[in-house]
Structure 1
Amino acid sequence: MRRRRIGWIAGASAAVLVASGAITYAVAEDSGDPGTKTPGAQSADSGFARDMAVHHQQAVEMSYIVRDRTDNEDVRRLAYDIAQTQANQRGMLLGWLDLWELPKVSAEPPMTWMGMGDMPERGDGSLMPGMATDTELKKLQSLNGKRAEILYLQLMTDHHKGGIHMAEGCVAKCTVGVEKQLAQGMVDAQQSELQVMAQMLKERGAEPRS
């Protein structure tokens, strides 16, 4: 059952990658329509694109770290699927900012577009909810086998929960239809992956951290 479920995620990830091209073209076409208003630098659309690009980059980094720290086929396959999907989505988000001629970096604190710009400084490299700290990343790099698998699954569980919160914010606040569509796809895919990771942690005698 586990292999079948992970295989389903791999198939779903492939579908996301195929759909991504269509979504990118749709944004380009929308932006070329004189009746379509390009998002502003302070909009939810651009804020989500900037913040989620950073959030995704860490997921890619963690996934490649664990692929080098374990020989477990299921964990390596899950990590590869997450890395490929989120790297592709990150490219789309940054591409939209280029298309809209908006900066990829903002002077405003992360999550300002969600009304969370005044949240306490997280520090140690953790810029947004769910992101791992620099200390946690170094620990992941120091572990092997089952211990690396457990920490990765726990860190990625937290990461997905934070990402889902952000994506739901875009679904509610973004104005570009295809960006809202991508955000909803992130919510659906990451909720499914949370179920898989919870089962994988259980099989290793561990639980999510929160």
Structure 2
Amino acid sequence: MRQLGLIAGAAAAVLVGAGAITYATAGDAGTPDAVPSADSADAGFARDMAVHHQQAVEMSYIVRDRTDDEAVRRLAYDIAQTQANQRGMLLGWLDLWELPKVSADPPMTWMGMGDTASGKDGALMPGMATNAEMKRLGSLDGKRAEVFYLQLMTDHHRGGVHMAQGCVRACEVGVEKRLARGMVEAQESEIALMAGMLKERGAAERE
């Protein structure tokens, strides 16, 4: 688990530069006037979604090694690559804005949630898996791993969509708002895909 986290973290670090380039070349976000403040929705979303995405990457690498099912392995690979890339962009923007990647405020304060942001059983943000759930995923194999991953990732995506919609409403940097809109569309599509995959395995998303 630790090794997978290190690999994912290293991959995201490499992509930070790509995020900075994307921001710098965006016509509506490349001026000093567009630089947000540390307590802005733009900065809060970038910080919190980077953390949210990191868990999705780790979860996807775990299940990829716990099953031989090609459909689940392909989905996990796609999610890991997409979210590692997006995480690099988010961290790259924070670097470019010269803003801290960690805040003393509770997660999702930028959405007006603050202390109420924690999910069930101590999850850091809505949709995120708990440490116990991540440990359980790493202990399962085959169909049981597939089903639990699809359930966890469905919850994870729902939380991510909620956060991205918040950015669409409150963020001011154009390129970041566009990224958030793309997250909503892609993750809602994957939620529908995962619902079908769960049904094929005689299961359903969690209540």
Find the partner of 2:31 among 22, 30, 33.
33
Alignment of structure 1 residues 72-87 onto 2, 5 Å: 72-87=69-84
Q: Deviations over 1:153-174 (max 9, x none)?
A: 0000000000000000000000
Q: Does 1:69 align with 2:69?
A: no
Q: 1:91 to 1:120 in 2, by over 3 A?
A: closer
**Shift of residue 146, structure 1, vs aligned partner:** 0.1
d(CA) in 2 for partners of 1:125, 1:88:
27
Deviation at 1:110, TM superposition (A): 0.2
1:98 corresponds in structure 2 to: 95
Q: Structure 1 unaligned segments of length 5 or more: list them.
A: 1-20
User: What is the letter of the counterpart of residue 166 of structure 1?
Assistant: M
Distance in 2, matches of 1:31 and 1:102, equals: 16
Question: Structure 1's 120 and 60: CA in aligned 2 closer, same or farther, altered over 3 A?
Answer: closer
Runs of 4+ in 1 over 3 A off after TM superposition: 23-26, 29-32, 120-125
Q: Is the 8 A contact 1:66 1:152 kept in 2?
A: yes
Aligned residue for 1:82, secondary structure, equals helix
- 1:167 maps to amino acid: A
Give yes or no for contact 1:124–1:135 (8 Å, CA) kept in 2.
Answer: no
More off after superposition, 148-157 vs 111-120: 111-120
The root-mean-square deviation of aligned C-alpha atoms, in Å, is 1.8
Matches within 5 A, 1:166-185: 166-185=163-182
Under a length normalisation based on structure 2, what TM-score does the superposition of the two structures give?
0.86
Could you tell me how far apart the structure 1 residues matched to 2:100 and 2:67 are? Answer: 38
Q: Distance in 2 between matches of 1:185 and 1:32?
A: 20
Cα pair 2:143 2:201 within 8 Å, conserved: yes
Residues in 2 aligned to 1:139 and 1:181: alpha-carbon distance in whole angstroms: 35
Which blocks of at least 5 consecutive residues in structure 2 are unaligned? Answer: 1-17
Q: Which amino acid aligns with 1:138?
A: K
Deviation at 1:121? Answer: 4.6
- Partners of 1:125 and 1:132 within 8 A in 2: no
Identity %: 74
Shift of 1:118: 2.5
Q: CA deviation at 1:56?
A: 0.1
Aligned residues: 189
- Which among 42, 46, 66 is matched to residue 45 of structure 1? 42
Describe the superposition over 1:47-79 as per-residue Cα deviations: whole angstroms up to 9, x where unpaired: 000000000000000000000000000000000
1:28 CA displacement: 1.5
Compared CA separation, residues 192 and 45, structure 1 to 2 (3 A): same
